[in-house]
Structure 1
């Protein structure tokens, strides 16, 4: 009973068997009732036919002739006077005494049914009035043995039982194929999910029809693909983070051992201590950014959108970063039209722009120009950060938002980058419901474009 195909088969069988049983019962009752009504109508018509003859000639010869006719058939007739005294009978009249005792009053011209309980009584019976000049002169009672009706019903029951068994067998066979047809793709999906749980993500399910089962199969394949991607990303992330943590720790441990075990001049000690401090700061920045990314992955931070005047916002950014650009002999130019308002989290937007501008400053040479610009087009607000620095090779552009990805590993380490800045930027941009695009040419420069909705 644990198999779905068995459960579905039993359920389908019970439902269909119940419907077939109900339909057979309803049909059987209808046919039986119809056949009994036909027998009663035929008996009534036969009595009316005899009545018509007797009304023309109500005498002993005609009465005996009618009785003789019925004695050779499967029905019986009893002819009485108006007081129900038996004048003639095709069978011993004592057999029918119980039916003749029933009082008859206001008898319709076409007669009426005296007994119709074929399943309880030995006879079914009708009566027809014989009239002369509008007055009742006699009665014609017609009788039919219910044994013939029972025989008819028994034959009918045999046909129904045979049909029922054939229907049940065919239903059982159809249900077996139907339940297997439904559960087969489900079994395949179960096997696929079992493989996924064991870490085998190269799952390919057979194509099914374009219905809910087909959608489920596609969803499982997509899930396997996503899990494979996430597993690869996790492994790559763990490898990268172990490398990133190991390098500064190696420096710190190595130079700390040198300072501890050797007696060095003051200048050498200062030099080694500076290296230790730099690597400690690098490690601290890396851990801080990892915590930031962890918060974004868990959606444990909130974006508090508020109206921001971008013109004033850009001026504040320019004031904060201009000293750093001047120190490196670079020029930062910010432009935004007046009264341009954007709905965003001011702290997070500042973090985004600081990261992008810091990258432009790090990867541009002395005398470089860095531009921060905003404008509105239709319902969209565009913000760009453009520089004329080193640029990014085409092969690296699709990967620059990946965690720990570096275009130039050696130079990035020299400049203190962790490879997480652009990953953080992308997470923050997407949290705003915005989009980030990048264009770059080697030795020409790089442009990052942020596109926000103007609501």
Structure 2
């Protein structure tokens, strides 16, 4: 009883069996009533035929003729006068005395049914009046033994029983295959999820239909693929964290031991202490960025959107970065379309552009130009940051937003990067409902494009 196929099978059987039982009950009742009505109408029609003959010639000869006709059939006839006295009968009269009393109310010309209780009485009966000169001259009583009617109904019941049994058997067979057909893919999905729970993500499910079960199978396969990717990413992430933490800690410990154990000049001490401070700052920055990513992964950081005038916002960015670019003999140009409004978190937006501009500064040479451009197009705000730096190799472009991914491994320590900056930028942009694209060519430059939906609410 714990199997879904059994539960579905029992449920289907009860529902279908109930429907079949109700339909068979009403159909049986309707057929029986129709058959009895047909027998009564046939009996009354036979009586009316005799009545019509007797109305033309109501004498002993014609009465004997009618009696003779019924003596060869499975029905019986009794003919009486208008007061109920028996003139002739095809069977002993004592069996029918309770039926042949003169009726208290007038009988219609086409006759009427006297007895229709086939399941309780030994006979069904009808009576037809013999009308001569518009007066009742006698009556024709017709009787039929209900044993024949019961035999007919019994035969009908047997046919219904056979049909019902066959229907139930077919229903059970159909329900068996139907429930198996429904639950078989569910069982396979259960086995697949069990494999996933054990860490086996290479599951494959047959896509046998385009309905909800097919969609569920695709979703489970997609889940397995995503979990496999996440497991791989987690392993790489932990390995990268281990490496990133080990490297500055090794520097800090190594140079601290040198300063502690050796007698060094003031100049050497300052040199080694500067390295320790630099690596400590690098470690602090790494931990801070890891905390930021953890908050983003858990959706615990808050985006507090406000209406931002991008002209004023980028004017402040220009004032803040222009001296730094000027110091490095670079040109910083801001082109912002007038009256450009964006609903965003100003602090998070500032963090996005500071990181992008910082990357442009690090990877560009003296004499380079860094250009920030903002405009509105089709209810979307586009912002690009373009530099003329060293560029990004085409093979690295798909991975630059991955955590701890670095394009130039040899210059990483000199530039102080952690490999998390672009990952954080991407998360912040997506948190604003935007998207970020990158176009780059080696030794030509790189262009990042941010696209935000216009939000007027």
TM-score by length of 1: 0.96
Q: 2: distance between equivalents of 1:264 and 1:73?
A: 140
**Which segment is superposed worse, 33-42 or 320-329?**
320-329
**Counterpart residue number, 2:173:** 173
**Counterpart residue number, 1:408:** 408
Is residue 218 from structure 1 mapped to residue 229 from structure 2 by the alignment? Answer: no
**Which segment is superposed worse, 245-254 or 324-333?**
324-333
1:291-306 counterparts in 2 under 5 A?
A: 291-306=291-306
**Counterpart residue number, 2:95:** 95
**Counterpart residue number, 1:11:** 11
Q: By how many angstroms is 1:334 displaced?
A: 2.0
Q: 2: distance between equivalents of 1:404 and 1:453?
A: 29
**Counterpart residue number, 1:310:** 310
**Counterpart residue number, 1:338:** 338
Could you say what secondary structure the match of 1:143 adopts?
strand
Could you say what secondary structure the match of 1:282 adopts?
helix
Q: 1: distance between equivalents of 2:159 and 2:342?
A: 83
Q: 2: distance between equivalents of 1:106 and 1:346?
A: 104
Could you say what secondary structure the match of 1:384 adopts?
strand
**Counterpart residue number, 1:379:** 379
**Counterpart residue number, 2:418:** 418
Could you say what secondary structure the match of 1:365 adopts?
coil
Q: 2: distance between equivalents of 1:265 and 1:95?
A: 144
Q: 2: distance between equivalents of 1:39 and 1:9?
A: 43
**Counterpart residue number, 1:70:** 70
Q: 2: distance between equivalents of 1:38 and 1:383?
A: 90
- Cα deviation 1:149-182 (Å, max 9, x = unaligned): 0011111111111111111112211222222122
Is residue 44 from structure 1 mapped to residue 44 from structure 2 by the alignment? Answer: yes
1:155-174 counterparts in 2 under 5 A?
A: 155-174=155-174
Q: 1: distance between equivalents of 2:301 and 2:29?
A: 72
Q: 2: distance between equivalents of 1:37 and 1:225?
A: 71
**Which segment is superposed worse, 236-245 or 327-336?**
327-336
Q: 1: distance between equivalents of 2:72 and 2:335?
A: 121
Q: 1: distance between equivalents of 2:7 and 2:298?
A: 41
Q: 2:83·2:102 contact (CA, 8 Å) conserved in 1?
A: no
Q: Which runs of 5+ in 2 are unaligned?
A: none
Change (3 A) 1:313 1:250: same
**Counterpart residue number, 1:83:** 83
Q: 1: distance between equivalents of 2:407 and 2:269?
A: 34
Q: How many residues align?
A: 455
Q: 2:70·2:77 contact (CA, 8 Å) conserved in 1?
A: yes
**Counterpart residue number, 1:388:** 388
Q: CA RMSD in A?
A: 1.7
Q: 2: distance between equivalents of 1:427 and 1:28?
A: 71
1:217-366 counterparts in 2 under 5 A?
A: 217-366=217-366
- Cα deviation 1:340-379 (Å, max 9, x = unaligned): 2222222111111100000011112233322222223343
Q: 2: distance between equivalents of 1:101 and 1:295?
A: 103
**Which segment is superposed worse, 276-285 or 95-104?**
95-104
**Counterpart residue number, 2:439:** 439
Q: 1: distance between equivalents of 2:262 and 2:202?
A: 56
**Counterpart residue number, 1:142:** 142
Q: By how many angstroms is 1:336 displaced?
A: 2.0
Q: By how many angstroms is 1:67 displaced?
A: 2.0
Q: By how many angstroms is 1:102 displaced?
A: 6.8
Q: By how many angstroms is 1:59 displaced?
A: 2.0
Change (3 A) 1:378 1:89: closer
Could you say what secondary structure the match of 1:98 adopts?
coil
Change (3 A) 1:102 1:266: farther
Q: 2: distance between equivalents of 1:31 and 1:339?
A: 85
Q: 2: distance between equivalents of 1:14 and 1:338?
A: 73
**Counterpart residue number, 1:57:** 57
Q: By how many angstroms is 1:303 displaced?
A: 2.5
- Cα deviation 1:310-361 (Å, max 9, x = unaligned): 2221121121122322333333222224322222222111111100000011
**Counterpart residue number, 1:398:** 398
Could you say what secondary structure the match of 1:395 adopts?
helix
Q: By how many angstroms is 1:117 displaced?
A: 0.6
Q: 2: distance between equivalents of 1:140 and 1:147?
A: 22
TM-score by length of 2: 0.95
Q: 2:82·2:102 contact (CA, 8 Å) conserved in 1?
A: no
- Cα deviation 1:203-250 (Å, max 9, x = unaligned): 121121222221111111111111111111111111111111111112
Change (3 A) 1:199 1:102: farther
Q: 2:84·2:102 contact (CA, 8 Å) conserved in 1?
A: no
- Cα deviation 1:376-424 (Å, max 9, x = unaligned): 3343322221112221111111111111100112312221111111111
Q: 1: distance between equivalents of 2:77 and 2:243?
A: 114
Q: By how many angstroms is 1:439 displaced?
A: 1.4
